[in-house]
Amino acid sequence: MIVLTMGDPAGIGPEVVVKALAKKRFPVTVIGSIKVLEEAAELCGVSIEFKSVDEPKALENAVAVIDLGGEVPKGKPTPEAGLYAYRYIVKGAELVMKGKADALVTGPVNKLAVNLAGIKFTGHTGLLADLAGGVKTKMLLYLDELRVSHVTTHIPLRQVPEVVTPDEVITTVKLTSEFLRKLGEEPAMALAALNPHAGEGGIMGNEEEKILTPTVKRLREMGYEIEGPLPSDTLFYRALKGEFNAVIVLYHDQGHIPVKLLGFERAVNVTLGLPYVRTSVDHGTAYDIAGKGIASEKSMLNALTLAEKLAGKTNRDP
C-alpha cells in the first residue's frame, strides 16, 4: 500500500496525481481533497472515481482518498494552501510510521506557502526526518540511467566546504549503497570532487587531499566499492557510460543540474535514511501552469513505480 500526498492544492499536484493514476493502477490511497481531485480529473479529461476512507485501503473500482480538504485559489502561494500541503505530509508520515502503508509518495509543495502558514519549513526531507525522530537523511535523485546522492543540499554554496566532513560523506555513501542493493544492484559508486580538476594537487583547493581522498580510502577499507574524488566535469559522462551506478555529489546544483538536464520530467526524488520508502516528484508546484491541465505526470508516475518496486525490500550493507 502506498500513501500519496496530493501536494499543494493551488499547484499542479492534483493534476499530475490524477494523470498518473489514470495511466496505471497502483495500490494507493491519496491524502488530499476529493473535490479538488475531481476538478483536476475533469480538467485533464480523465475518468476516475474517488471514494472517501478513514485509513489506507485498496479499492477495486475507485481510488481511496483520505479527505483533509483543500479548496483554495489556484496559481499562487497562500497560507491556506501551505497549511493543507503541510497537513497532508504529516498525515502521510503518520500512517506509514504506524505501519498502515508500505511507502510514502509526495506531490509538490511550495516552501513559501508553508512558511506563510506560520510553519518553519525548508522542505519535505527535513520535516520527514523530524517526524521520524530526527533520523539522518540524504537526498537522492533517480533516473534509470543516472542516480545522484547529495552530501549537502539546501545550504549556501560558501558553507559547503565546512559541512562536507568525512562523517557526512560516509553516511551518504552508506545510504546510497543500501538503496542500490534494494534495487538488486551491486554498488559501484563514485565521489565527485569539490574543486575544479579535483584540486589538481592542491593548486585549486586542498579539500580533496585533506578530506575526500582519505575518506574514500577509509570507505574502501570498510568494504564499499567507490572511486574518487573525481572531477565532476567528466564524472557524469563516465557514469552514463556505465562505469558507476551512483554518483555522490557534494552540493545541490552539482547533482541537480545533470539530472534535470537529462530527465527534467522523469526524475524522482528519493529520501534515503527514513525507516520507510519515500519517493517524490522532482519538480515544484508550477503555479504558472496550474489549472491548465498541461502538467506532465511522468515524474509522478515514476515516483509511484519506484516506490512500489522498493517497498518491502530489506537493507543489506557490504
> Would you state the cell numbers that stand for residue 311, as one nine-digit string?
517497498
Residues 130 and 143 in one domain: no
Q: Which domain holds residue 164?
A: 138-268
d(CA 70, CA 23): 24
d(CA 117, CA 33): 19
Residues 297 and 311 in one domain: yes
Of 268, 285, 302, the position where a domain reaches its end is 268
The residue-averaged pLDDT of 139-149 equals 96
Residues 262 and 145 in one domain: yes
Asked if 290 contacts 278 with a C-beta cutoff of 8 angstroms, the reply is no
Say if residue 56's pLDDT is above 50.
yes
Residues 94 and 2 in one domain: yes
| 10-48 residue pLDDT tens | 999 999 999 999 999 999 999 999 999 999 999 999 999
Say if residue 314's pLDDT is above 90.
no
| 110-119 residue pLDDT tens | 999 999 999 9
| pLDDT for the residue 244 | 98
Q: What percentage of the chain reaches a pLDDT higher than 70?
A: 98
Residues 165 and 228 in one domain: yes
The residue-averaged pLDDT of 74-80 equals 96
- Total structural domains within the chain: 2
Say if residue 318's pLDDT is above 90.
no
What is the pLDDT confidence band of residue 312, given thresholds at 50, 70 and 90? Answer: low
| pLDDT for the residue 290 | 96
What is the pLDDT confidence band of residue 315, given thresholds at 50, 70 and 90? Answer: very low
Between the alpha carbon of residue 239 and those of residues 143, 242, 250, 260, 318, the distances in Å are 12, 5, 16, 15, 21
Residues 189 and 261 in one domain: yes
Residues 101 and 163 in one domain: no
Residues 161 and 198 in one domain: yes
| pLDDT for the residue 317 | 41
Residues 158 and 183 in one domain: yes
The residue-averaged pLDDT of 85-109 equals 97
314 or 194: which leads in pLDDT = 194
Q: Return mean pLDDT, the chain.
A: 94
CATH code of the domain containing 251 = 3.40.718.10
Three-class HEC string of 37-66: HHHHHHHHCCCCCEEECCCCCCCCCCEEEE
Residues 162 and 111 in one domain: no
The residue-averaged pLDDT of 231-244 equals 96
The residue-averaged pLDDT of 274-283 equals 95
| pLDDT for the residue 154 | 87
Residues 284 and 297 in one domain: yes
| 182-228 residue pLDDT tens | 999 999 999 999 999 999 989 999 999 999 999 999 999 999 999 99
Q: Are strands 268-272 and 277-281 parallel, antiparallel or unpaired?
A: antiparallel
The residue-averaged pLDDT of 74-95 equals 97
| pLDDT for the residue 122 | 82
Between the alpha carbon of residue 12 and those of residues 27, 36, 176, the distances in Å are 22, 11, 30
Residues 197 and 280 in one domain: no
